[in-house]
Amino acid sequence: MKEKRASLAEAAEVVDRAENFAAAFFQLKRIFAPYTKSLNVNADTRTRFYLETKSASYKGQPLFFGAVIAGRANVSFHLMPLYWDASLVKKLSPDLKKKLQGKSCFNFTGADPKLFRELAKVTAAGFTLYKRKNLL
């Protein structure tokens, strides 16, 4: 009987995790929505969303702008402008910096409206940077 309860609890945990990931993925993807007319959507599936410049602006190729990727352990939000301008990283709140992995990737296990609002502002600043550098 204990084994059945344990397996039911594990199944419920898997479902909760999948729902949390799906909610985070959808909300993070929405951050990029205002830029889909100016940028090229390279991939748009249930687990991957990639944006890049429409023009061949970097070594004859489109330049990566950002992505949302749902993985096994977390949902990642990638924002390339953070590579181009370190001042964007300096403006991040301590809570958002805790989610930063490497130079331009934030990892989440669920939706976080406060941090997602901050990411939306950073994304807008990154888009402005791309425009200012004529990368679009």
Quote the domain boundaries for residue 26.
Answer: 2-132
Domain count along the chain: 1
- In 3-state terms, what secondary structure has residue 37? coil
Tens digit of each residue's pLDDT (9 = 90 or more) over 63-117: 999 999 999 889 999 999 998 888 999 999 999 999 999 999 999 999 999 999 9
- In 3-state terms, what secondary structure has residue 8? helix
- In 3-state terms, what secondary structure has residue 51? strand
End-to-end Cα distance, the chain: 61
pLDDT computed for residue 16 by the predictor: 66
- In 3-state terms, what secondary structure has residue 13? helix
Q: What is the CATH number of the domain that holds 8?
A: 3.90.1150
The model carries a pTM of 0.86
